Amino acid sequence: MVSVIIAAYDEAVVLGATLDALRADAPEAEVVVVANGCHDDTAEVARRRPGVRVVELPDGGKPRALDAGEAVATSFPRIYLDADMRVPRGAVGALCRALEQPGVLAAVPARRLDVAGRPWPVRAHSQVHERLPLFRDALFGRGLVALSEIGRARFGSFPDMVADDLFLDSLFRAEEKVLVDDVVMTVATPPTTRELVRRLARVRRGSAAMRKAATSLQAHASVRRPDRWSWLRDVVARDPHLLPAGAAYATLTVSAALLARRSPADSLAWGRVASRGHRGRVGLLGVQYDTANLGLAALAYSLTAIVDSVADEDTEVVVFSINSEESVATMRRSLGTTRPVRTVPLRHRSPRSLLRALGEMRRCDVVVDLTGGDSFSDIYGGKRLLRKLLHKQMVLAAGTPLVLGPQTYGPLRRPVWRPWYRHVVERAALVATRDGLSAEFLSTLTSAPVVRSTDVAVLLPTSGTEPRSGRRIGLNVSGLLWNGGYTGSNQFSLTADYRAWCDGVVRGLVANGYEVHLVPHVIARATADALEDDVAAAQALMRDHPGCTLAPTFDSPVAAKSHIAGLDVFIGSRMHATIAAFTAGVPTVPVAYSRKFAGFFGSLGYGALVDLTDASTEEAVAHTLALVEDRDRLAQLAVPALGLAERAVDAFVDALVDVLPATVREPGHDVPVPRR
């Protein structure tokens, strides 16, 4: 049985994920966690994991922590694991098998430097660093070292220096060490250039302490000779394209050397910022919990649910929109999540607000932008598109990976937007569409790879439904269409008269003996929302049809979907009202005013749609009523379409997981996304 020793200093944020990953890979391993000089609940996090032995020391210092772990560990091979490193499946077994080879005393995994979301100097330094021949047979810089029992007998206690992995490396000849290529550890690079310089300075101090210890015979070891020009001779000279990165590498190395001279080389302090300072952060852009538009809230809820399923439990969600504490609490209650959520307002008339938002974007590991689902277009006017492009440019300027999540792209009525639009798309870390029409539009603009997915709101849950009666027809009347769009003059070029269509559909349904339930999905709460208010439009319709029933005011998109799920057929002019019905298993009649409806439903093979931009009022009314009577066929069409939707959203989630830094991802993630 293998023993694993983890020396931990203020690692409560990351230690749980490290232990969970370790237990998943090696459930029989003896695990010892030494919490030394901690100011957080590192020890409690370890104790909550069954079978983990915890040792607490009042003072910090990694050498003493490792020795304390050695004092209670009983088995070999012996593995030394950093508290913020997650072992992949099969790692422990592969390392132990490597140590069984004749003459092999030490084994380490391969490594991959994670530079996602890091500023250019950090990325440039990593480009050179990972190519240095020094790391082909080195034990350091990987966060994990495995020793056989004979290898461990090479030394007694750990010497008083922070460079424990450098010390271990110095004990063994090249032929006594083995690199296990099949095991790859993801090593997170420092989040800022300043922190990188500090870490490099710490390494230099450790090397100096190592040389001093060898000279004074505190450590009987062979210290590697520094090769100051390897970056130029072995890396840049072989690949001149790396010259800019090489210049950055040299500059940072000199800066670290100067900083290292200011601190004593024999300091036992950990010499780094504790992991609690690097809590994972996932930013959400183009969504909002606290909004009159329940469709926009549905996107926010669903995207939060995705983050909840793929990110480490300590990762914080940062929502770049105005949200009240009450709205965040309602979201948490509706989704059953305890994830930390913070909101950062984007106030365009306040430079201070925008600068603060830019700083918060820089602190995020990734920002996922849904642009309200359909606002990455100029169909709602140039001013709205300008704001959306500005938000995306802010993320790019912050140096944070921008994920353009599943949404509608285009159309662009004015060519003036195309260069900036292309610039944003091509610099995004991930681009996902929610329909085939958007993918076709992007193909005319750029050759950037695109993930074909679907609207994330298909994941929105329900909280119980009323029993169906067979005669209850839901009708969502759009306040925006009722008022002629934002311009008030048929902004969306409908060929049918929307108010006349609403009147005709209600008359037809009532004549056929149905109950008509009017279901608002945009519920105005201020004068600014009045133009889009579905409640006011429904009330205006009820003046001519007092027998209709007006649905209650919903406090969340989950409550709205739960109400819709109890209807027998649903007719909707709001995209996410129809998605709610469709994914709740209600026969659905989408009523389109833009190509986003045909894009979403058409990509899923669901062709039952009324297009108000390509039919007269009479034709649209007749088609709507015919589809209501054909509800059984609609239900049959929905079955394969829903299967396609689930697979499509999984494609986005898988791609998102690949973009997330290893320090953010949930260990052993297999896309456990919530379903209907």
Residues 310 and 224 reside in one and the same domain:
no
**Of the listed ranges 81-85, 93-97, 663-667, the one predicted with least confidence:** 663-667
Boundary-marking domain end, from 275, 298, 314:
275
Pair 300, 423 in one domain: yes
CB neighbours of 583 closer than 8 A, spacing ≥ 6?
A: 457, 458, 460, 561, 642, 645, 676
pLDDT at position 272: 42
Identify the domain boundary among 410, 427, 459: 459
pLDDT band at 293 (very low <50, low <70, confident <90, very high): very high
Which pairs with CB-CB distance under 8 Å and at least 24 residues apart come from 617-625?
617/496, 617/497, 617/500, 617/501, 617/504, 618/504, 619/496, 620/496, 620/501, 620/591, 621/501, 621/504, 621/505, 621/508, 624/501, 624/505, 624/508, 624/571, 624/589, 624/591, 625/505, 625/508, 625/509, 625/512
pLDDT number for residue 525: 77
Report the pLDDT value the prediction gives residue 214, as an integer from 0 to 100. Answer: 56
Cβ contact 32:9 at 8 Å: no
Q: What is the mean pLDDT of residues 633-647?
A: 91
Backbone angles phi, psi at 56, to 5 degrees: -115, 130
Do residue 168 and residue 315 come from a single domain?
A: no
Judgement on whether residues 226 and 342 belong to the same structural domain of the protein? no
Tell me which of 255, 275, 295 is where a domain ends: 275
CATH number at residue 86: 3.90.550.10
Check residue 215 and give its pLDDT.
53
Same domain, 495 and 597: yes
311: which strand partners?
A: 665
Strand locations in 159-305 (E): 177-188, 281-285
Does 400 lie in the same domain as 373? yes
CA–CA dist 199, 125 (Å, integer): 12
**CATH number of the domain bearing residue 552:** 3.40.50.2000
Side by side, which strands form the sheet with 610-611?
Answer: 549-550, 515-518, 472-476, 569-572, 588-592, 610-611
Distance of CA 156 to the CA centre of its chain: 44
Q: How far apart are CA 462 and CA 560, in angstroms?
A: 9
Q: How far apart are CA 4 and CA 426, in angstroms?
A: 44
* pLDDT greater than 80 at residue 668: no
Q: Which two tokens stand for residue 207?
A: 């090397």
What is the 8-class DSSP label of residue 231?
Answer: I
Question: By mean pLDDT, which of 361-375, 384-398, 417-431, 648-662 is the weakest?
Answer: 648-662
Please indicate, yes or no, whether residues 521 and 609 belong to a single structural domain of this protein: yes
- Residue 467 banded pLDDT, cuts 50, 70, 90: low
Measured CA distances, 286 to 297, 305, 373, 648 (Å): 10, 16, 8, 21
* Residue whose C-alpha is closest to residue 272's, from 578, 564, 490, 7: 7
Mean pLDDT for the stretch of residues 635-646: 90
Mean pLDDT of 508-534: 88
The domain tally of the chain equals: 3
Bridge partner list, 473: 516, 569
Region at 185 (left for phi over 0; alpha for psi -120 to 50; beta for the rest): beta
Quote the CA–CA distance of 553 and 560 in Å, as a whole number.
Answer: 8
Residue 562 falls within a domain, yes or no? Answer: yes
pLDDT tens profile 226-284: 677 888 889 988 998 888 888 888 888 887 877 776 555 444 444 444 444 457 899 99
Is residue 380 assigned to a domain?
A: yes
Round to whole Å and give the CA distance between 29 and 13: 22
Take residue 406 and report the two structure tokens written for it: 């599943």
Report yes or no on 464 lying in a domain: no
In this prediction, residue 267 carries a pLDDT of: 45
Strand partners, 282: 317, 366
Q: Which has more pLDDT, 214 or 78?
A: 78
Q: 372 and 412 share a domain?
A: yes
Distance CA 582, CA 588 (A): 6
Kindly give the interhelix angle for 325-335 and 557-564, rounded to the nearest 10 degrees: 50
pLDDT > 70 in the chain, percent: 91
pLDDT at residue 671, as a whole number: 40
Question: What pLDDT score does 261 carry?
Answer: 67
DSSP state, residue 182? E
Same domain, 132 and 176: yes
Could you give the CA distance from residue 274 to residue 40 in angstroms, rounded to a whole number?
10
454 lies in some domain: yes
Report the candidate in 499, 653, 654, 663 with the shortest Cα–Cα distance to residue 573: 499
CB atoms within 10 A of CB 635: 14
Under DSSP, is residue 483 helix (H, G, I), strand (E, B) or coil?
Answer: coil
Q: Are residues 295 and 237 in the same domain?
A: no
Amino acid at position 375, single letter: S
CA gap 36, 69 in Å, rounded: 11
Res. 480 pLDDT band, cuts 50 70 90: very high
Among candidates 478, 435, 472, 440, which has minimal Cα distance to 612? 478
Range of 439's domain?
279-459
- pLDDT range class, residue 384, cuts 50, 70, 90: very high
Q: pLDDT higher for 651 or 216?
A: 651
DSSP string, 7-64: EESS-HHHHHHHHHHHHHH-TT-EEEEEEES-SSSHHHHHHTSTTEEEEEESS--HHH
pLDDT tens for 158-190 read 887 666 788 888 889 989 999 999 999 988 888
Does 667 map to a domain?
Answer: no
Find the mean pLDDT for residues 458-467: 76
- Cis previous bond, 77, omega within 30: yes
pLDDT at residue 76, rounded to an integer: 95
Check residue 519 and give its pLDDT: 97
- Mean pLDDT throughout 299-306? 95
Q: Is residue 203 assigned to a domain? A: yes
Peptide bond into 411 cis (omega under 30): yes
> What radius of gyration do the chain's Cα atoms show?
30
According to DSSP H, which parts of 444-516 are helical? Answer: 479-482, 498-511
Q: pLDDT by residue (tens digit) across 18-30?
A: 999 999 999 999 9
Cβ proximity of 641 and 435 under 8 Å: no
Same domain (yes/no): 339, 254 = no
Question: Phi and psi dihedrals of 590, rounded to 5?
Answer: -75, 140
Residue 513 lies in a domain: yes
The answer to whether residue 658 is domain-embedded is: no
The verdict on 287 and 265 lying in the same domain is: no
